[in-house]
Amino acid sequence: MWPVRGLLRPSHRLPGLNAGWRSSRFQLYQPDARRDEPVGLISDFQRFSVHDGPGIRTIVFLKGCPLHCVWCQNPETISHLPEIMLVPNNCIGCGKCLEACPNSCTSCSDGRVQAVSRRRCLLPECGNCQRVRYANAINICGRYLTVGEVLEELERDLEFYCHTGGGVTFSGGEPFAQPRFLDTLARRAKERKLHTAVETCGYVQWEILRRVMESIDIVLFDIKHMDGKRHRQGTGVSNDLILVNLKRLDALGIPIRVRLPLVPGFNDNEENIQATAAFAAGLENVQALDILPYHRMGEPKWGQLEKPYELHGVAPHDREEVLACADIAREYGVEVTVGG
Ligand code: SF4
Ligand code: SF4
């Protein structure tokens, strides 16, 4: 069921955690002269979320992630650059994107756009094919926005935040992969009295994590696997730094929700559930362990990115299986929820 071998091909680029404060390339990219504050690469906003922190929240999805989880439900957030998502079924055969492309990247068959040469594509500077599109067959994921522009978007829902104890959740991708932007955004959000949450995989330089935490009210922290070897198979990186960072965050006294994305055949065995629950229960500031059942809603996005989805055909757990995992975790005295 689980393709243990070949989970990560050698060609997978795993951007290191050493991006640091100054060197991440998307922070250097200035699309135009109006940028006099940090610019971030945003894949999307999700308004009225009730699953990613308390109350009603807006989620800001930042692009770029140092992990490459084979089950990732948001694969469009992994790359640190804008990229094309292709939906050939939407194509109406007008040919406008072919005419507009300066590098002949798009190709058609049967009158429909079927592929894009991502190697030749001139993103992020170009974007012509999206500008001329009529039918959403070519969609560019990733917009460079200033901190002020993101805050403007967040402030549209201020009324809901106030009445429900909600706020903003920074997610991704891995939001800490854009450290300077995230730090500034979180500080400015706090200045506006917004409640702030961050979802992280924890694979971050400690100094960056510690600094941003000054502006964060709660952390949603993923543990994908307690076994280092299995963690590397499923995500491309070791879990050493992740577990150390979780302990360090706990020592800061910041409220934490540990999240376990429950993936069939990968981390759903009793031993791993027990180890995860024991680790969470041993920390002082963990409010709960949230079990997030695997689903397949992200699979079409892998196709739109023209990347293989390695879990094709893997069936999600049924409800009883998920509840059984939750019961195992509860034996360790930690509060457990299903779904976050
Ligand atoms: S972004 Fe520009 S270079 Fe890339 S496929 Fe579209 S038109 Fe061609
Ligand atoms: S850490 Fe999250 S965003 Fe990054 S690859 Fe894994 S599931 Fe996707």
Tens of pLDDT, residue by residue over 198-255, are 999 999 999 999 999 999 999 999 999 999 999 999 999 999 999 999 999 999 999 9
| Burial call 146-160: b when 16+ CB within 10 Å, e when fewer | bbebbbeebeebeeb
**What was the pLDDT predicted at 130?**
87
Check if 74 has its Cβ closer than 6 Å to any atom of ligand 2.
yes
Could you tell me the distance, in angstroms and rounded to a whole number, from the CA of residue 299 to the centre of ligand 1? 24
Residues facing residue 146 across a β-bridge: 39
Chain center to CA of 285: 24
Distance of CA 310 from the midpoint of ligand 2 (Å): 14
40-90 pLDDT tens trace = 999 999 999 998 999 999 999 999 999 999 999 999 999 999 999 999 999
58 in the same domain as 181: yes
Is the distance from the beta carbon of residue 172 to the nearest atom of ligand 2 less than 6 Å?
Answer: yes
What's the whole-model pTM score? 0.89
CB of 265 within 8 A of CB of 1? Answer: yes
If you average pLDDT over residues 324-330, what whole number do you get?
Answer: 98
Question: Mean pLDDT throughout 307-314?
Answer: 96
Together in a domain, 207 and 254: yes
Considering only CA atoms, which residue is closest to atom 8 of ligand 2? 72
User: Using a 6 Å cutoff on CB, does residue 107 contact ligand 1?
Assistant: no
* 8 within domain boundaries: no
Choosing from 140, 156, 177, the residue where a domain stops is 140
Residues 215 and 296 in one domain: yes
CA of 141 to the centre of ligand 2 (A): 16
What is the pLDDT at residue 298? 95
* Pocket mutation for ligand 1, best pick of 126, 133, 138 (most atoms within 8 Å of C-beta): 126
Looking from the CA of residue 201, the nearest atom of ligand 2 is: 1
Q: Which of 137-141, 201-205, 331-335 bottoms out in mean pLDDT, i.e. has the lowest?
A: 137-141
Residue 218 CA to residue 329 CA, distance in Å, equals 22
pLDDT at 35: 59
With respect to residue 59, please indicate whether it lies within any of the assigned structural domains: yes
Residue pair 57/177 in contact (Cβ under 8 Å)? The answer is no
180 and 261 together in one domain: yes
d(CA 123, CA 82): 7
Domain count for the chain? 2
Q: Which residues pair with 84 in a beta bridge?
A: 140
85 close to ligand 1 (CB < 6 Angstrom): no
Ligand 1 close to Cβ of residue 105 (< 6 A): yes
Percent of the chain at pLDDT above 90? 80
Predicted confidence (pLDDT) at residue 31 exceeds the cutoff of 70: no
Same domain, 112 and 246: no
Residue range of the domain that includes 90? 83-140
Judgement on whether residues 253 and 205 belong to the same structural domain of the protein: yes
Q: How far is the CA of 78 from the centre of ligand 2 (A)?
A: 7
